[in-house]
């Protein structure tokens, strides 16, 4: 049977543009994984790894115009957004280069023998080593930052792990271009092409997660697709870590005092956040708890005006557009659900932003309104109007895990008075990032960042953004009683690599 062709598709028209590749066979997936495994040795030197990551960033920047043009043709996200995303991707690669050079991620801990301890302590030396070949599943909505050269790939390479990427079908041509740039960067440092494999096709993605030489996987996508791969990773004869980002509602709670203080500002800010990128951000606020009464009415009026002024947009593909239109219609048919600005189809290929309102009491108990507690990908949010604090708390108690949770407080509450501390305590169990008086769209690449959360936001407690993302692809190893001549350089007493470490209980920098 001939392999199926892989086409680049224009989301503005739904038409095929060009054939990019063919779907990978099982044999081709196997070859890509084996080539990646054979490239491990070329990543052992941290100096080489850091230089490779910096060169990759340089080469991506040099190819910016070509890459942005290809990305826009396949995603319709626009040159401004894509140029910024590419810059973020390059910054992320350089940030990991710095982390590799610093070496703190190795978590070096050395304990010399202590016969006076109970029980006695032998000579113990601990650090972290790379897992091996990492499978990366690209996201649709971030064709640079969460794709071939994105955070999963950058952090895995930084850890010393070669990567095989399963390209997203929404941007196959861009995936090929980016992979070629990274391979050229690798070649400049004597690293084989196999350090970054690329495969296309649904079946190839399934084969990849099952391959016995794949040691871990990173995924960004839907709950359904991510859960299927998560289960496959766990069902292997040798299960592997699966770090998946699956879905998030990203709730927002507006206190009555905050609404009374600045309803119009909150309404306009919400409009900007929920429609950013045509509502295709994983941290889009999908549920907003706002008070009943005059202050809440002012918020809804401000939101109505701002969303009404938002231009129609193109979603990443027609399947997503169909799901958005159908999902909005299904939600709008529920009793007591109103649409101050109706979201849905606008023309043959575009969609209009809008929002739904519903009494919060409808969401406080299990039933058909649970549909409103599920993510709807696109420019729509649900505003649940609550009567009192208890009703808002009842809705929050029913929410699944999220990437983010946001609260808007009054100045007095933000100073620690009234409801402020209680609300923060209610939101903390729900999400990996809790925001106060801000909006979740925008995930800074910073050492303290955490992009993850309780299931189904993610399948692990790790982050896919920020410096600690590297920890997903490492495992600790302890050497006990090993002669100095046999120790890796990282664990020697004289510290020839100048690594930060904990030496007999003392932190050395």
- Rounded Cα distance, 182 and 461, in Å: 29
Burial of residue 101 (CB within 10 Å: 0-12, 13-18, 19+) is middle
Which candidate, 32, 26, 38, places its Cα nearest to that of 1? 26
In 3D space, the residue among 470, 502, 486 whose CA is nearest the CA of residue 131 turns out to be 470
> Residue 93: is its pLDDT beyond 60?
yes
Asked whether the predicted pLDDT for residue 161 surpasses 60, the reply is yes
Euclidean distance between CA atoms 331 and 5, whole angstroms: 37
Which whole-number Å values give the CA distances from 150 to 161, 219, 430, 455, in the listed order? 14, 11, 26, 22
How many Å apart are CA 125 and CA 83, to the nearest integer?
A: 45
Cα–Cα distances in angstroms (integers) from residue 454 to residues 132, 423, 434, 504, in the given order:
26, 18, 13, 36
Catalytic residue, chosen from 28, 85, 207, 282, is 282
**How many C-beta atoms lie closer than 10 Å to residue 272's C-beta?**
13
Position 291 pLDDT exceeds 50: yes
Q: How many residues does the chain have?
A: 509
Average pLDDT over residues 277-303: 97
Tell me: pLDDT of 54 over 50: yes
Residues 140, 144: Cα–Cα separation, whole Å: 10
* pLDDT of the residue at 2: 58
In angstroms, rounded to a whole number, what is the distance separating the alpha carbons of residues 96 and 151?
9
* CATH architecture of the domain with residue range 251-436: 3-Layer(aba) Sandwich (3.40)
Phi, psi of 145 (to 5 degrees): -75, -20
Please tell me the number of Cα atoms within 13 Å of 386 on its side-chain side: 21
Decide: helix, strand or coil at residue 259: helix
User: Active site includes 90?
Assistant: no
Confidence of residue 158 (pLDDT cuts 50, 70, 90): very high
* Angle value at C-alpha 279, between 267 and 344, nearest 5 degrees: 90
Yes or no: say if 153 and 165 are a contact pair by the CB < 8 Å rule. yes
Peptide bond into 119 cis (omega under 30): yes
Domain boundaries, the chain: 23-94+130-246+461-473, 251-436
Burial 347-368 (b: 16+ CB within 10 A, else e): eebbbbbbbbbbbbbbbbeeee
Percent of the chain exceeding pLDDT 70 equals 100
- The CATH-assigned architecture of domain 23-94+130-246+461-473 is 3-Layer(aba) Sandwich (3.40)
C-alpha 189/C-alpha 58 separation (Å) is 14
What does the pLDDT read at residue 1? Answer: 45
Sort strands 214-220 and 196-199 into parallel, antiparallel or unpaired. Answer: unpaired
Which candidate in 23, 74, 245, 413 is catalytic?
245
Q: pLDDT tens digits for 210-228? A: 999 999 999 999 999 999 9
Residue 37 has pLDDT above 90, yes or no: yes
Distance from the first to the final alpha carbon of the chain: 59
- For residue 211, what are the contacts with CB-CB under 8 A and spacing of at least 6? 29, 30, 33, 133, 135
The model's pLDDT over 101-141, given as tens digits with 9 standing for 90+, comes to: 999 999 999 999 999 999 999 999 999 999 999 999 999 99
Mean pLDDT value across residues 374-382: 97
Q: What is the mean pLDDT of residues 498-509?
A: 94
- Identify whether 264 is a catalytic site residue: no
On the question of pLDDT at 347 being above 90, the answer is no
> pLDDT-based confidence at 509, cuts 50/70/90?
confident
Q: In three state form, how does the secondary structure of 431-451 look?
A: EEEEEECCCCCCCCCCCCCCC
Rounded Cα gap, residues 509 and 501, in angstroms: 7
Is residue 501 within 8 A of residue 108, CB to CB? The reply is yes
> Which pLDDT value is given to residue 96?
98
Rounded Cα–Cα distance for residues 50 and 180 (Å): 19
């Amino acid at each position: 049977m001939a392999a199926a062709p892989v086409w680049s598709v224009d989301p503005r028209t739904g038409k095929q543009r060009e054939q990019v590749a063919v779907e990978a066979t099982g044999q081709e997936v196997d070859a890509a994984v084996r080539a990646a495994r054979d490239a491990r040795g070329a990543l052992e030197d941290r100096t080489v790894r850091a230089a490779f990551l910096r060169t990759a960033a340089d080469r991506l920047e040099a190819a910016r115009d070509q890459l942005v043009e290809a990305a826009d043709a396949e995603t319709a996200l626009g040159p401004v957004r894509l140029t910024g995303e590419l810059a973020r991707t390059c910054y992320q690669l350089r940030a990991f280069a710095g982390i590799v050079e610093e070496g703190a991620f190795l978590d070096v801990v050395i304990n010399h023998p202590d016969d006076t301890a109970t029980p006695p302590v032998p000579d113990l030396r601990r650090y972290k080593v790379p897992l091996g070949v990492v499978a990366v599943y690209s996201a649709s909505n971030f064709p640079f930052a969460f794709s071939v050269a994105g955070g999963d790939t950058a952090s895995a390479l930084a850890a010393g792990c070669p990567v095989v990427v399963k390209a997203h079908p929404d941007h196959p041509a861009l995936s090929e271009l980016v992979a070629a740039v990274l391979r050229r960067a690798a070649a400049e440092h004597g690293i084989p092409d196999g350090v970054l494999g690329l495969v296309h096709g649904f079946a190839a993605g399934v084969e990849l997660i099952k391959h016995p030489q794949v040691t871990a996987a990173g995924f960004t996508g839907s709950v359904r697709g991510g859960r299927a791969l998560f289960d496959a990773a766990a069902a292997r004869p040798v299960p592997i870590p699966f770090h998946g980002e699956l879905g998030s509602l990203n709730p927002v709670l507006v206190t009555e005092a905050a609404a009374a203080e600045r309803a119009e500002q909150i309404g306009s800010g919400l409009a900007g956040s929920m429609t950013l990128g045509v509502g295709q951000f994983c941290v889009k606020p999908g549920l907003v708890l706002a008070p009943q009464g005059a202050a809440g009415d002012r918020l809804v009026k401000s939101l109505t005006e701002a969303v009404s002024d938002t231009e129609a947009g193109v979603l990443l593909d027609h399947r997503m557009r169909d799901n958005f239109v159908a999902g909005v219609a299904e939600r709008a048919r529920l009793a007591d659900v109103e649409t101050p600005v109706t979201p849905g189809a606008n023309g043959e290929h575009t969609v209009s932003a809008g929002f739904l309102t519903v009494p919060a009491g409808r969401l406080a108990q299990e039933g058909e309104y649970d549909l409103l507690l599920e993510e709807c990908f696109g420019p729509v949010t649900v505003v649940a109007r609550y009567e009192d604090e208890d009703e808002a708390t009842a809705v929050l108690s029913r929410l699944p895990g999220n990437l983010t949770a946001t609260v808007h407080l009054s100045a007095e509450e933000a100073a620690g008075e009234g409801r402020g501390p209680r609300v923060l305590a209610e939101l903390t169990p729900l999400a990996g990032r809790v925001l106060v008086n801000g909006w979740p769209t925008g995930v800074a690449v910073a050492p303290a960042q955490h992009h993850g959360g309780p299931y189904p936001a993610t399948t692990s407690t790790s982050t896919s953004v920020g410096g600690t993302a590297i920890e997903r692809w490492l495992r600790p190893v302890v050497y006990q009683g090993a002669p100095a001549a046999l120790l890796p350089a990282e664990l020697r007493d004289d510290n020839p690599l100048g690594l930060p470490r904990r030496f007999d209980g003392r932190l050395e920098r």
